[in-house]
Amino acid sequence: MLSIIKAIELNLETWMKSYEDNTLSNFFAMNNHYHLYKHLKGTKLGEILGDSWLREHEQYKDYYAAIFLRDSWGKLPSHLSREGRATARDLVKKRLKTFNEAFDEMYNKQSNWVVPDRDLREKTSQLIVQSVVPVYRSYMQNYGPLVEQEGNSSSKYAKYSVQSLEQMLSSLFLPKPGRYGSFKVNRRVSDKFDNGVPALHRAASAIV
Q: Is the per-residue pLDDT at 194 higher than 80?
A: no
State the Cα–Cα distance between residues 109 and 24, nearest whole angstrom: 10
For the cut 50, the answer to whether the pLDDT of residue 3 exceeds it is yes
pLDDT at 86: 54
Residues 6 or more apart whose Cβ sits within 8 Å of residue 93 = 146, 147, 150, 157
pLDDT, tens digit, 9 for 90 and up, residues 44-83: 988 888 999 999 999 999 999 999 999 999 999 999 987 7
Q: How far apart are CA 25 and CA 60, in angstroms?
A: 13
Q: How many C-alpha atoms does 121 have within 13 Å on its Cβ side?
A: 16
Give how far Cα 6 sits from Cα of 13, 23, 183, Å: 11, 25, 22
pLDDT at 64: 96
Residue 196: pLDDT over 50: no
Calculate the average pLDDT of the chain.
Answer: 83
Instruction: Identify the pLDDT of residue 58.
Output: 95
Helix locations, 111-206, DSSP H: 118-148, 162-170, 187-192, 198-203
The pLDDT tens digits of the residues spanning 138-158 come to 999 998 888 887 766 778 888
Q: What pLDDT is recorded for position 206?
A: 39
Tell me the pLDDT band of 6, cut-offs 50, 70 and 90.
confident
Q: What is the pLDDT of residue 87?
A: 62
Q: What is the pTM of this model?
A: 0.79
Q: What percent of the chain has pLDDT over 90?
A: 55
